[in-house]
Every structure is written in C-alpha cells, then in structure tokens.
Amino acid sequence: MVGAGTDKTKATIRGGPAVILVRPQLAVNIGMCARAMANFGLDDLRLVNPREGWPRSDVYRDVAYSAAAGATALLDSARVFDSVQKAVADCHRVYASTARERGQAKAVMTPSEAMSATVAAEGEKRAILFGPERTGLDNDEVAIADAIISFPSNPAYASLNLAQAVLLCGYEWFKAAHGDEPPPSTIPRPSSPPAQREMLLAFFDYLEGKLDENGFFRPVTKKPGMRRNLRNIFHRMELTQQDVRTLWGAVVRLAEGPRAEVQTRNRVRPKKSTA
C-alpha cells in the first residue's frame, strides 16, 4: 500500500549513511525499515545474514513489500552479506545502534550528534549497524563500530522497534542535511484579498450592535474594554474579504433566525429579508 504522502512526481532525495540490518528476523521489519529509510532519503540498505534469507520468494515477500508502503526499490536493491566485516568494508566510520554501552570505552552519541557528524564528513561513507529484533547486536559486532548511537528514551523502557530506530536516525540525518523547516503547505492561499479597514469596521459595528441588543456588554462600565478585546480577536486572524462576508452572514442568521422560505413550482427558494 502506498501512503497518502507518496508523490512520485517529486524529485527523490538520496544519500545518508548505509543502514545495515544484522541478522534481521522478520521480513515485515525489513519492509518497515525500507519505508523509514525512504521517508528521509536514505538509499543504501544492507542485510547481514537475514534469518530466512533474502530476497524472499514465499508469502513473507508480500508481507515485506506491503510493509514497505511503496519503498520497494530499496528492497529490490538491498545487498546481502555473510558477515558484518564485509558489509562495512567500504565504510570510513561505523556506528552501532544499541541501548547499552557494553563496557567497550566507545563514544556514546545521540542520533542527532552522530548524524550531524555524518553530514559534516563530506566524502566519507558511514554506516549504522542495527541488531536483530530480539537480542540486538552482540559484543563482537559492537566492537567493529567506532562509536555507539543510543537514543534518549524512558530508562525503564528503552528498547525500540527496529524500524523506529532506523526512522529516528534517518530523521536526524535528514534534518542535519536538509534543515528542519516544515514542508510547504499544500493548502492553497486564499484568493480573496485582505479585508479593508472600512469593511472590518462596518462588520464590527453590526456585530457589536447585535451583541448590545442582547445584553452582551454588561456591566456597561466594561463595554469599552470588551469591545477592544472583541475587535482584537478578529484583528489577530488577518481576515480576508471573504472571511468577513462569511462571518457577517453567519452573524446575520444567528441574529435574525432562519431565512423565510417561499414555495415555487420547481423548488423552495429563500425569501429575501426586507429588514
């Protein structure tokens, strides 16, 4: 299933560290990791001794591809190795993702620190090792890495799902490489121009008149301050002309009640108010 945010007309961002899944146990998790990678532009997936082999040709292949949610190119291009040493042979620096330091006197970095350093090391190939779902990396695998990536998390429940760990690293790489500004809004800008002050003041006069008729401004001594507060609410909205027309129409109906209806041969037509 391809997600709603997928748009193949847009340029694909590529790069970042290699994601190396060491002895992954479940095909669905490989698919979910591919999806997490695609979310943030990581394009180098490597598998070390996947438990059931790769590529899969049984029903679990469909499970993995479904979990990838459109990121199937990463699954198709994934490289398989029979050892961690071979998987990292072309890498200049390697990180091990683990919740435990393992007493190996290695630097322990957050994903933000490690991915910022990765972006700064232009021209270097870097990789992150992720261990199997049940046990994580063993000590010998951690020993291959230059530093450890550990996630700030609840100390009483620090174990992350494999795809979650990949996604967090991918997010931090993308943020370091491309900034953390939100994407442009897909909501079109209103075509209506900003409301002129004359239009706003006329609306305020009508609204305040109806509120005054219905006893809103009480006590009378507080009326000036209440009027200012009410107007400032609308000023903060930066209303367009269409906004004011819509609000005005809504207030008219609240103040005057439902439109009277007249029956015609073909349809019921609202009767114009004579007020």
Q: Which of 130, 150, 178 is the last residue of a domain?
A: 178
Q: Whole-model pTM?
A: 0.66
- The count of domains in the chain is 2
pLDDT surpassing 90 at residue 217: yes
String of DSSP letters for the chain: ---TT--TTSPPP--S-EEEEES---HHHHHHHHHHHHHTT---EEEES-TT-SS--SHHHHHHHHHTTT-HHHHHH-EEESSHHHHTTT-SEEEEE-S--TTS--EEE-HHHHHHHHHHSTT--EEEEE--TTT---HHHHHHSSEEE-----TTS----HHHHHHHHHHHHHHHHH--PPPPP-SPPPSSPBPPHHHHHHHHHHHHHHHHHTT-S-SGGGHHHHHHHHHHHHHHTT-BHHHHHHHHHHHHHHHH-SPPEEE-SS-EEEPPP--
pLDDT surpassing 80 at residue 196: yes
152 and 94 in a common domain = yes
145 and 72 in a common domain = yes
Q: Choose between 69 and 93: higher pLDDT.
A: 93
249 and 172 in a common domain = no
Nearest of 81, 71, 68, 70 to residue 20 by alpha carbon: 81
Q: Which of 59-68, 165-174, 261-270 has the lowest mean pLDDT?
A: 261-270
231 and 128 in a common domain = no
CATH number of the domain where residue 83 is located: 3.40.1280.10
pLDDT in tens, 86-123: 999 999 999 999 876 667 888 999 999 999 999 999 88
Residue 234 lies inside a defined structural domain of this protein: yes
Range ranked top by mean pLDDT from 6-10, 58-62, 181-185: 58-62
Residue 147 CB contacts under 8 Å (≥ 6 apart), including other chains: 93, 95, 96, 106, 107, 108, 109, 114
Beta bridge partners of 70: none
pLDDT surpassing 60 at residue 213: yes
- pLDDT value at residue 10: 66
The residue segments making up the domain with residue 39 are 18-178
Mean pLDDT of 207-219: 93
Q: Which of 178, 210, 236 is the last residue of a domain?
A: 178
- pLDDT value at residue 1: 42
142 and 31 in a common domain = yes
118 and 46 in a common domain = yes
- pLDDT value at residue 189: 59
